[in-house]
Structure 1
Amino acid sequence: MDVIIKNGIIITALETYKADIGIKNGKIVTIASKLDDSSAEIIDASGKYVLPGAIDGHTHLQMPFGGTVSSDSYEAGTRAAACGGTTTVFDFAIQQKGHGLIQTAKERDALCAPQACVDYAFHVVITDLRPEILDEFQDSVNFGVPSFKVFMVYKKEGLMADDGMLYSVLKKSKEVGAILAVHAENPDLIDIRTEKFLKEGKTSAWYHYLSRPEFVEAEADKRAIHWAKQLDAPLYIVHLANKEGMEEVKKARDEGYEIYAETCPQYLYFTNEVFKREDGRNFVCSPPMKGQESQDALWKGIKTGDIATIATDHCPFQSYEKDWGKDDFTKIPNGCAGIENMYPYMLSEANKGRLSFNKVVEICSTNPAKIYGCAPQKGSITIGGDADIVIYDPTKEFTISQNNMHSDSDHTIWEGVKLKGYPFMTFSRGKLVYKDGEFLGKPGWGKFLRRKRK
């Protein structure tokens, strides 16, 4: 064996037990109560928890948007991920007009491969649906990209899918064994409300929230679920942030439909009150944080299993870029950092007793692996699986600050948030890539993950 992790408490989605883990050639080869191998490097995890690495199923690295490009390159974003215990990152490859699905994924891979510090995969965002694109769905699945996304917003930016396109893509996804993710908001309501606020001179970040409040998101959630139910097609709603949409997801799941909801740490910790702050523009993302009632509903959804996954929608911009909208919320680039904060925040909440550690592993690692087709290679501590492992110190007190983060963003919305417990080590396929505040990995280590949904 190359590495043995000894004396730790292993936590999976279903079990908690004490055992040693043996690693060879990047894989977990044995799990036993007592392992010895004089040739192996010994990692003593006494007093610590041993978890599967997290999977962030929703990031936007090096993404052109709002007149600029998100501030984390693939290197910076995956470096930050590793330092927060995330060992697999899913990014969105956005189809350009005239381009094919596999072409889109390959172009993004060419950009990512030399930079990635942990393993990665892509969802292809469909923006230019033509008959030949529908014909390419099966080829994309065979290529190892069985997940797609459409935006139900961003009409002016040329990204939006109308109901006809949404219906067609859902139907084809079901036929080929893929899954469709949707960003659900109503663009027409957003445009009407935005125009009204601008005419009235209401231009602060608070009006970003008021231009797209709870019901604007909820209507689109209901519409997407309606079409998925008519086709009995799998549907994945990204960054769910409102109570009414949460209730609609629960109803569909109770009726037996394959509907998944993802939410993000920023919706679980912050409410719309942040948009009233002096630095409110730094929190602008879409959909925006909602009221306390919605936050409570999301936490309830986690406990009932109706929130299937946690992801970040990591899409940071620099402070000076956020400042473009200081006097006009429509000029604020939408997005926040979070890739390094997801697992530590959720594990801290478990450490405080809000939910179990097993539930955190389930929604941050095991479920995304299953839903997106990379289990059992990822998402669990299993013999034969990749040795993507986090050693977590439940006793460490940690205060998030820009000074101790590892991305290229010049600020964090999590500044000053205190956590109970923090990742101590992160292994990516058996390689130590982070230890006690220091990144030890290197660009180009991460591999493209070809997936297959069952």
Structure 2
Amino acid sequence: MSHFPDLVIANGTVVNSFGRQAAHVVVDGGRIVELVDAAEPIPSAARTIEAHGQLVIPGGIDGHCHVAQVTGRFRTLDDYRTTSTAALWGGTTTIIDFGIPRDAQETPLEAVLNKKRLATESRCDVALHGAVVSWDETVPWQLEQLAAEGVRSVKMYTTNRGSTMADGDTILKVMREMVRLDGLTYIHAEHNPIITDCTEQHASDGRIGIEHLHRTRPELAEEISVKETLAMAQYTGAPVYFVHQSTPGAVDLVAEARERGQEAYSETCPHYLTLDDTVYGSAFPEWYACCPPMRSAETVAALKDRLAAGAVHTVSSDHSCYDLSQKRERTDDVRYMPHGLPGVETRMPVTFTAIVTESGGAVEDFVEVFSAGPARINAVPRKGAIVEGFDADIVIFDPALQQTVDGGALHMGTDFSPFEGKTLSGWPAVVISAGRVVLDEAGFHDPGPVGRFVPRNGFTEHRDALSVPVIPSVESLSA
């Protein structure tokens, strides 16, 4: 008897970042094996999902998640089972977490290997970033070991002195190593002296509670740090990726650097596209404690303009799963409360609503920042597109369907959402991860701890294998 493929998604509109087509998507053995023109008969399969009138897109890649993260005396309340389940509910089929040393005793290599062990409970695929806080003579060897593990990016903070901050000497030296190892440097860019002084000034005036958070971390601090870091990247020749950019000025600095020939990338987050600093005057300002903070309505509008113009390369969640009891311990002093928002599950609908529903952008542009861009920039093989030979990570949804966010009904292991009460489009109806249907009209089907650790390619190796906007041969992308 001839073999039938595992699954066919029939009659959907397949949307990649580079275009769309009406097609039947054939899945077998966890991979996409064929795209058949929708005018042709539906191929036989063990299971057929009818997708007429719906969009079929590549599963999301969230390049910025913090899972089971320890920072000071606080630990996020999630684990890989929880976060990966929430990711799948939200149409994200690959998460990239950070191995950040929890204290001075944990090395960068130990932090990553610990996260890799924890990730064996994941329901979706996982990749990792490393992190360096301070330089010593072992760091080059550790970075070599990380590269051998398939961890090809390292994050550094330009603020948070005494916990996660790396000084300028460390950043410069790590950049050199990442060039040598064909890696990517991730930067949390906020100018520490400005933030420290501004925060101390507000504290001395008694204006240090959560309602003043946005005033303690000015836009200038972010933009000056981006400018300084770009100079170091230019000097070393290092590709650099800026996380959670919240201002158009920061994005413009990256765009100008790219015009000069630098490899530089801007990430923003759903909350910076949809929430403004008036939230700190709301009844529950602790729902919005994150760094950088929300900006003015004018800044938010200008940031959305940059996104529409293609100057923002990825939209990631910066998922950090604290609950309200943790947030409310020190709402009186932003220096001592945990910062970070849950968002891995809501990234898809918030981003789709911002780009497509509200701004009239193309679905292709949404796919670029939700999936294709994160895969390409982070050198994640076989992901970010619906093409033959790629992993069968697929989302099906009705773009006209709207739902209202209920934080208590989400699956992120916390008790709130910063998007509570917002009506959003772009919620996934069917999610397929590595060829398994994990979400459909019957609900969530827990696949168990089947998520794979994904070793990433070298940055320039992966970039040079691509031709944009045409997807190249599968062989060049799946190395």
TM-score normalised by the shorter chain: which range applies?
over 0.9
Paired with 1:208 and 1:394, the residues of 2 have a C-alpha distance of 35
Deviation per CA, 1:195-221: give whole Å up to 9, x if none: 222222113223221111101111111
- How many residue pairs end up in the alignment? 451
Kindly indicate whether residue 40 of structure 2 is the aligned counterpart of residue 31 of structure 1.
Answer: no
> What is the TM-score of this pair, normalised by structure 2?
0.91
Kindly indicate whether residue 239 of structure 2 is the aligned counterpart of residue 234 of structure 1.
Answer: yes
**Shift of the alpha carbon at 1:100?**
4.8
- Match runs of 1:140-159 below 5 Å: 140-157=146-163, 159=164
Moved more, 65-74 or 408-417: 65-74
Give 3-state SS (helix, strand or coil) of 2:319's partner: coil
AA in 1 matched with 2:16: T
Partner of 2:472: none
Paired with 1:35 and 1:51, the residues of 2 have a C-alpha distance of 21
Paired with 2:112 and 2:345, the residues of 1 have a C-alpha distance of 24
Q: Gaps (5+ residues) in structure 1?
A: none
Partner of residue 269 from structure 2, selected from 255, 258, 264: 264
**Shift of the alpha carbon at 1:352?**
4.4
Native 8 Å contact 1:66 1:332 kept in 2: no
Kindly indicate whether residue 290 of structure 2 is the aligned counterpart of residue 308 of structure 1.
Answer: no
Paired with 2:310 and 2:426, the residues of 1 have a C-alpha distance of 24
Deviation per CA, 1:384-416: give whole Å up to 9, x if none: 110000001123221011133111111111100
- Match runs of 1:53-452 below 5 Å: 53-95=59-101, 97=104, 99-113=106-120, 115-157=121-163, 159-349=164-354, 350-375=356-381, 377-436=382-441, 438-452=443-457
**Shift of the alpha carbon at 1:136?**
3.4
Q: What root-mean-square deviation, in Å, do the aligned CA atoms of Structure 1 and Structure 2 show?
A: 1.6
**Shift of the alpha carbon at 1:102?**
4.0
Distance 1:382 1:102, change over 3 A: farther
Give 3-state SS (helix, strand or coil) of 2:194's partner: helix
Native 8 Å contact 1:404 1:437 kept in 2: no
Paired with 1:212 and 1:120, the residues of 2 have a C-alpha distance of 32
Give 3-state SS (helix, strand or coil) of 2:234's partner: helix
Paired with 2:442 and 2:426, the residues of 1 have a C-alpha distance of 13
Native 8 Å contact 1:93 1:105 kept in 2: yes
Native 8 Å contact 1:98 1:128 kept in 2: no
Partner of 2:476: none
**Shift of the alpha carbon at 1:303?**
2.4
Native 8 Å contact 1:57 1:90 kept in 2: yes
Give 3-state SS (helix, strand or coil) of 2:201's partner: helix
Paired with 1:248 and 1:193, the residues of 2 have a C-alpha distance of 23
Partner of 1:3: 7
Kindly indicate whether residue 19 of structure 2 is the aligned counterpart of residue 15 of structure 1.
Answer: yes
Paired with 2:247 and 2:45, the residues of 1 have a C-alpha distance of 53
**Shift of the alpha carbon at 1:355?**
1.3
Native 8 Å contact 1:246 1:301 kept in 2: yes
**Shift of the alpha carbon at 1:294?**
2.4
**Shift of the alpha carbon at 1:87?**
0.4
> What is the TM-score of this pair, normalised by structure 1?
0.95
AA in 2 matched with 1:4: V
**Shift of the alpha carbon at 1:329?**
2.4
Q: Gaps (5+ residues) in structure 2?
A: 462-479
Give 3-state SS (helix, strand or coil) of 1:156's partner: coil
Paired with 1:52 and 1:255, the residues of 2 have a C-alpha distance of 32
Give 3-state SS (helix, strand or coil) of 1:320's partner: helix
Native 8 Å contact 1:253 1:306 kept in 2: no
Partner of 1:51: 57
Paired with 1:421 and 1:183, the residues of 2 have a C-alpha distance of 29
Give 3-state SS (helix, strand or coil) of 1:419's partner: strand
Deviation per CA, 1:1-27: give whole Å up to 9, x if none: 000000100000011110001111100
Distance 1:407 1:437, change over 3 A: farther
AA in 2 matched with 1:370: R
Partner of 2:47: 41
Paired with 2:358 and 2:417, the residues of 1 have a C-alpha distance of 23
Moved more, 63-72 or 4-13: 63-72
**Shift of the alpha carbon at 1:314?**
0.5
Paired with 2:395 and 2:335, the residues of 1 have a C-alpha distance of 40
**Shift of the alpha carbon at 1:330?**
2.2
Native 8 Å contact 1:93 1:104 kept in 2: yes
Moved more, 342-351 or 280-289: 342-351
Native 8 Å contact 1:352 1:420 kept in 2: no
Moved more, 243-252 or 332-341: 243-252
AA in 1 matched with 2:117: A
Native 8 Å contact 1:6 1:35 kept in 2: no
Give 3-state SS (helix, strand or coil) of 1:18's partner: strand
